[in-house]
Each structure stands twice: as structure tokens, then as C-alpha cells.
Amino acid sequence: MSKPTPEDGYIAPYTHPAAGWGALKYVAINLVKEKVAGGKYVTLFRQNQPDGFDCPGCAWPDREHGSTFEFCENGVKAVAAEATSKRVTPEFFAENSVTSLLQQTDYELEQHGRLTHPMVYDAVADRYVAIDWYEAFALIARHLRALDTPDQAAFYTSGRASNEAAFLYQLFVRAYGTNNFPDCSNMCHEATSRGMPVTVGVGKATVLLDDFEHADTILIFGHNAATNHPRMLGELRECARRGAMIVSINPLRERGMERFTSPQHASEMITGSSTKIASMFVQPQLSGDFALIKGMAKRLVEMDDAARERGEPSLIDEDFVRRHTHGYDVFVADLRAENWDDLIEQSGTTRAEIDALTEVYARGKNVIACWGMGLTQHKNSVQTIQILTNLMMMRGNIGRPGAGLLPVRGHSNVQGNRTVGIEEQPTEAFLDRLEKVFNFEPPRKHGYDVVNTISAMLDGKVKVFVGLGGNFSAATPDTPRTQQALRQCDLTVHIATKLNRSHLVHGRDALILPTLGRTEVDMQNGVPQGITVEDSVCMVHVSYGMNQPASTHLLSETAIIARMAAATLGNRKIDWLWYAQDYSRIRNAIEKVLPGFEDYNARIAVPGGFHLTPPARDRIWDTPSGKAEFIVHPVVKDTPIQKLRAEHGDKLLVMMTTRSHDQYNTTIYGLNDRYRGVFGLRRVVFINPSDMERLGFRDGQHVDITSVWADGVTRHVEDFRIVPYDIPLGCIGTYYPETNPLVPLESTGDGCGTPTSKSVPVLLTAHVAEAAAA
């Protein structure tokens, strides 16, 4: 093999701390690449500031004090991608047929820039052509009114929409008559949203940022902060410098957990020094966390027994357990009966590691547990999150300063979207309020989530798809089947800022409706409108765009929804257009429907906004028993993967699909994954060197990947480069969305319907071209 050139991509281990000058350099490169005009640079400095806009990147909360500019390389990328001066115009579509655009990579599609005009698909020319807004809404209305039942339409939401847009959207969809709300949450923190309410009565974080100042121990499960929530490193840095114990529980030793140079601190930047973040790394196998955490709980009971024997104080917060919980005795009996060998084997760690980790947990006076996609995208995710909350309950680590649960959300307003009603399984209480306030009968039957929407499309039961943001065809599992599903639709509609694959994988009729981004001035009736979002710690705050809109033809998301609703349902029962003229009217409506939003408009005028305090934070348990619940879950030994392993032997590997440093979900900003040492490449397979040798592959070799699932469907992707990596035996890692074709639609989490995109059973074979040449 010839020496790889930078054009082919190369692998070079990254030896520097996360962030620091490296990040600044890439910020500059990005601004030039996106041709962001000088005047807009100032925009970058106004993100997450009291009078600026909420960063459209991640959902990590802001520090209230506006004095320090919270620098974040990936936040800048998100803003620069929106502020780009490149444009996708009607002329662009005239020059490029849909078939030709389909040949481009996601990275190339992203590079074309911002959408400028509403477009409709012309089948004869195989091109999108401009359409005026009025005609576009009339087309949607025609389709929606022609369906046999409203349940033949599905309305997707990606978590960037504001509370105002999302609320109006769900109101429109329910007034139209369905609860078919597939959303990005279904693929993201759904296991959290379904798992936590059963144990602690609420599916949200119980901590605020201030709690980090009082925590002495922070457990971070399956979450890559340096890339996906870079501002979190600032918080962890402070904790580490105070001497807090930070533990990374992750099959990979992610760079950002090791060392971090804070761009906020000139001295670190100038002297090139850095702060060590995690003091301990535990590397479970993929989806081994359940067994690992159950092992910790069992070990804690053993340690408590020993402490009592020695006459020492109990390691269990007995007062908390007695006053606030239910089911403890049964839970402990199950732990005692659990077999250590099973726990160790299933976790992919050692007994010594479980003991050491439990020691750290037991020593912690105030513990925060954080988690991301590493816990939520497996078959046993709900069970894992429940056992984690139970472990935290054992020592009363919920509902007191410096301690609690922190699911680290993804999209910047995914949590707010759910709060205001983007939910295919709405509660009766919510529907009752909606009925009372708006005087119509909302549908009561639960709707389709993402996976069920795709199945229903394949079965011809869903015929119209509307996407409020996102990239449904690329973000979802089983790509060829999802694409077939979308192509079978009568109509697909995408409300979007930038061109993506979903616009090209369309129904018989298809619309692209271009919209304002978060960073742009949203003017209604001559008044700039603010929108509100809810971050990962349940703070609701206002955001004002500052840039001039990318095109004069754009409408805001709220305006698009209002006009779509008015065209479909008329403006008589609900005056949709009136709401869209002044967003404070929508907030008043939200206030009437949802608890916790009292004085909504007044409270967002305060810098930092207000906290939607989850009851569990005050040790109020919104469960049927009124107490926090301990739940017993067995260690499952005959999972589909274990059965497949019995069939395929140790050739079978379990694959996670994860994010590189240069992407935002399906939006590919660049081809580097700097902290993991990957440059100019995305088609890579991270594999343990022993597995590589055992399976007869060599460093740099190209392989094909086939997933195995008992449904007879062949799922296969080709030409991925082998990268030996520090990853547990039997596990491999690849990037999403390139490997989404391998994720079986029917493989979902128990109790949450999330595709198991971090435990995909696969086989590797030498890439055919190479095999032939050899």
C-alpha cells in the first residue's frame, strides 16, 4: 500500500489537550471556509449571552454571568454553518437534478449553503423548481384533506425548533387529528424519558449548573463532552481543580476527558498548560453498563454489610430510603442473589474495577451522574437508566445540593419540544388541558414514533410526511428501507435551513420550505421576535436572532406552521395567523396549558430565564406510589446478540455508531475527528488490535461490514478503513450516519423504541476490491 496522503486521509494520534489553541485554529479555518462575512463575526460572540441568541449547537446550559464569553469550537461551527454566505438558489436547482445531487456525499450537500426559496419537486424535469408560499401551503392542505384519516400523516420534529414553533405545531397536528409525532428524541434520550419517570417521577435533570460547585464526585457515562458539549469541559475543569473525582465510564478513553486547555483562561492558553479532567477511566464493553452498575449496587451492599459489622455508619442513606423510596428490600434481595460472574462477564470489566468504582462512589458525599448516547441507544437502555437512578437513590444522591441526575441532552431545544407537547404518547392530563383551553377534542389514541412511522410508511399506512427540521432519511436506522418508505409517500415536506439528503429522497409530491435559523432576526409585524428554549438543566430562556436572514423569501418556522395550519384547517376555530404575529401570544397559550409556565412572558425577561423545577429536585416523587421506586431487573443472558454470538462465534463483533468531532448529527462540517486522531476520513472502523490480528486484518486495510439480524434482510456497507484503537475486545466503532444502513429497524430498546444504534451485531470481511486484488 502506498503511503497515505492527506487527500486520502490519515491517522495520527492526537497528543494535545482538548480545546486550547487547536480549537481556535479550527474556528478560524471554519469561518474562512463558510465565507462568513466580517460583520457576522460579532454574532459569534453573542451566543449564550444574556441579550444574544441561544447557541443552536448543543443543549448544555449557560452560565448566567455574561462577563465571560463561553468559547466553544463546535458552537462556532454550528453558528458559522448557519451564517455561511453560500446559497442554494432556484438557479442551483435548475443546474442540478435530484438524481445528480443524490450522488453527492452528505458533506458535499452541506457545503452548498442556505436554502433561499420555497421549492416544489417537478417529476418531469427531475428538479426542484420555485413555488410561491401560497401555492406550497395549498398543496399541503390538499394532501392532508384528501387522506382517509389524519393518522395517515406523520409530523416529525428535530430538536432545534423553539418552544413557540413546537407548541403551535403540536396544536395544529392535534387539531388536524393525530398524535403521530415521530421526533429526534425517539432516537436520542427516549430511554431517559421513559425510564426515569418510573423511578423518580420525572424524565429530566435534577441538577442545576450550580450543583457542580458542590459536587465532589462526577460519574460520566457514555458521553463525549469535548466534541458534543464542549462547554461542559469548562464546568468539569473547575470541578477537577477543586479536587473533585471525575470518572469516565466509556468503552473509549475520550481525549476531552483526559486533559483540557481552557480557552476562557488566558494563562492556560499562553503557558500551554492544561487541566487533567478525569482521574479514573473504566471501559465497559458496549451495553455493559447495566451489569457494571448493578455490580456497583451489589458491591455497595457488601461494603455496607462490612461497615456495619465493624460498627461503622451505614453506607446507605437509610433516612432517604425510608422516607422517600419504595421497594428497597426487594431490590437488595435481588442484588444479594445476583451472580458476580454474570455481572463481570456482561459488563466487560473486572471485579477489581467494579470494586474500585464503587469505592469512589461510596466515598463521594455529593455525586452527580451524567449520561449521553452511550447509555441510551441499546436494547437494555431503559433498564440501565433505572438501575443508575437506583444506585444514586441508595445514597440519597438526588434532590440535594451538589448531587443528582443529569441526562445530557442533544439538540439545543429537544427537551423543550417534549415539554410543550411533541410526544406521540401524550398524557391524558395534557390533552384535557389542550381541550379546555382550545375547545376542540384532541385525538386520544397514541401515535407513531420514528420506528413505527417508518414501518407504517412501508405498509402504506402513512402517506404524508412533514419534517420540522432534521434529516429523517439519514438520521434514522435501516437507511435503504427508510428511503423506500419515504419514496412511497404521496407527499414529503421539509422545513429546513440547509439542503440535506432527506430533501432528495422524496415522495411523489415534495416541498422544501426554507426557514430562518436561530441566529437570524425574526421580524413579525415590524417587531423582532424572541423565541424560548429549555436547556439540559431545565432552564427556560429567551433567544433573539441578530443576523440578517439568509434570503428575503424565508419565513420563520412559526409562520410556516401557522400558514400550513390556516390553509388546512381554516382560521376560524383557532386564529393561527394571529398567534404567528406575536410570539408572546403563543407563550400565553403555553402558560394556560402547561404547569410551571406561570408568568411566562415576564419571567423570560429576566436574564437567564427561569427554572422548570422538576419535582424530584425537591424530593417530590411524581410516581403512582408517591415515592421514588427501586426496580428489579435481571441480567439478561440470552439477548439477540448473545444468541447471534452462539451462532457466529467470535467473528461476531458489536458495533457502536458515534459522532466525529466535525459533524453535527447528519450535518458533516469536515472530515476530521481530531481528538481521535482521524484526519480526512469518515469511513473508518475502530477495532481492538488483538481483534484485528485474530480476525486476520491489518492496520489500514479496507473492509466491508455486514450486520446480522434474524429477519433475512441483508444489510451491508463497503469500504471502511481499519484503525487499531483502544476499544474493548469484541467491540468496534464507526461513524453515524455512514453505518445507519446496518441498524435493523426492528432492533429497538426495550420499553423505549429507540434504535439500538450503539449495539449493532456485525461481521467484517475484506473489502471486495482488495480481496480481488490480493
Ligand X SMILES: Nc1nc2c(c(=O)[nH]1)N[C@H]1C(S)=C(S)[C@@H](COP(=O)(O)OP(=O)(O)OC[C@H]3O[C@@H](n4cnc5c(=O)[nH]c(N)nc54)[C@H](O)[C@@H]3O)O[C@H]1N2
Contact residues for Mo ion, defined by CB under 5 A: 188, 410
261 versus 497: smaller Cβ distance to Mo ion: 497
For ligand X, give the closer residue by CB, 163 or 377.
377
Q: Which CB sits closer to ligand X, 317 or 424? A: 424
Give the per-residue contact string, 241-280, with ligand X (x = CB under 6 A; - = no): --------xxxx-x--------------------------
Burial class (CB in 10 A: 0-12, 13-18, 19+), 773: exposed
Residue 158 interacts, among Mo ion, ligand X, none and using kind-specific CB cut-offs from 5 to 8 Å, with ligand X
**Of residues 383, 413, 547, 757, which one binds ligand X by CB under 6 A?**
757
Q: Which stretch binds ligand X (CB under 6 A): 331-339, 513-521, 590-598, 601-609?
A: 513-521
Residues touching ligand X, count (CB under 6 A): 59
Q: Does the footprint of ligand X cover residue 160 (CB under 6 A)?
A: yes
143, 617, 758, 767: which one contacts ligand X (CB under 6 A)? Answer: 758
Could you give the CA distance from residue 232 to residue 274 in angstroms, rounded to a whole number? 15
Other CB atoms within 10 A of residue 106 CB = 18
Instruction: Report 323-382 residues binding ligand X (CB under 6 A).
Output: 372-374, 377
- For residue 535, give Cα distances in angstroms to 63, 72, 167, 322, 529: 12, 16, 16, 33, 20
- Looking at the Cβ atoms of 251 and 410, the one nearer to Mo ion is 410
Q: How far apart are CA 487 and CA 122, in angstroms?
A: 15
User: Of the two residues 369 and 475, which places its CB atom closer to Mo ion in the complex?
Assistant: 475
Q: Which residue in the set 413, 536, 543, 657 belongs to the binding site for ligand X (CB under 6 A)?
A: 657
The closest alpha carbon to 162, from 541, 433, 524, belongs to: 541
Three-class SS state of 114: strand
Is residue 468 within 8 Å of 155, Cβ to Cβ? yes
Instruction: State yes or no: residue 667 binds ligand X (CB under 6 A).
Output: yes
The least CB distance from residue 435 to ligand X, in Å, is 28
Examine residue 498 and tell whether it contacts ligand X (CB under 6 A). Answer: yes
Please provide residue 257's backbone torsions phi and psi, each rounded to the nearest 5 degrees: -80, -15
Is residue 707 involved in binding ligand X (CB under 6 A)? no
Query: Per CB under 6 A, which of residues 713..742 are in contact with ligand X?
Result: 736, 740
d(CA 280, CA 246): 7
Q: What minimum distance in Å lies between the beta carbon of 407 and Mo ion?
A: 11
- Number of other CB atoms surrounding residue 460 within 10 Å: 11
The grid coordinates listed for 774 are: 490480493
Q: Which is nearer to Mo ion, 529 or 658 (CB)?
A: 658
**Host H or E run for residue 718:** strand 715-724
Q: Which residues contact 341 (CB under 8 A, 6 or more apart)?
A: none
User: For residues 401 and 568, what is the distance between their CA atoms, to the nearest angstrom?
Assistant: 50
Least distance (Å) between residue 371 CB and ligand X: 8
Binder of ligand X out of 234, 263, 470, 507 (CB under 6 A): 470
Contacted entry of Mo ion, ligand X, none for residue 515, CB cut-off 5 to 8 Å set by kind: ligand X
- Would you tell me the crossing angle of helices 557-569 and 133-146 to the nearest 10 degrees? 50
Residue nearest Mo ion, Cβ-based: 410
By beta-carbon proximity to ligand X, the closer residue of 245 and 370 is 370
Binding-site partner at residue 198 among Mo ion, ligand X, none, CB < 5 to 8 Å by type: none
**Grid cell 463561553 in the structure block, residue:** 70
Beta-carbon contacts of 14 under 8 Å, excluding residues fewer than 6 positions away, are 255, 674, 675, 676, 677
The helix/strand count (H/E) of the chain reads as 32, 33
Residues in region 67-86 near ligand X by CB under 6 A: 74
Taking residues 206 to 245 in sequence order and writing x for each that binds ligand X by CB under 6 A, - otherwise, the string is ---------------xxxx--xxx----------------
State the nearest-atom distance from the C-beta of 326 to ligand X, in Å. Answer: 28
Neighbours of 767 (CB within 10 A): 19
